[in-house]
Amino acid sequence: MLFNIYMNSLTVGLRYSDFGCHLGDEYIGCIVYADDIILLSASLVKLQNMLDICCIQGASLDIQFNADKS
């Protein structure tokens, strides 16, 4: 349950950044399943910005992201 609270904070941060893909009015730039996160963007620059947001948000929540693996 605590993991879901952490992930909600991350997904909300990504949604408010407005980086990523949209399908109509719905934001689909971040898909989370279990402990996996899929970031979707039409631009490599925006995708890198989304990854940076994940790293910054994760550091503030004491979650380590392996950005080198992505």
pLDDT tens per residue, range 11-27 = 888 889 989 898 998 88
> Does position 69 have pLDDT exceeding 70, yes or no?
no
DSSP state of 33: E
Average pLDDT, the chain: 85
Cα 69 to chain centroid, rounded? 15
pTM of this prediction exceeds 0.85: no
DSSP state of 13: H
Compute the distance between CA of residue 36 and CA of residue 56 in angstroms, rounded to an integer. Answer: 17
Long-range contacts of 31-34 (CB under 8 A, 24+ apart): 32/7
Q: What is the pLDDT of residues 35-46, one digit of tens each?
A: 788 999 989 999
Hey, which residues does 26 pair with through a beta bridge?
A: 23
pLDDT at 5: 79
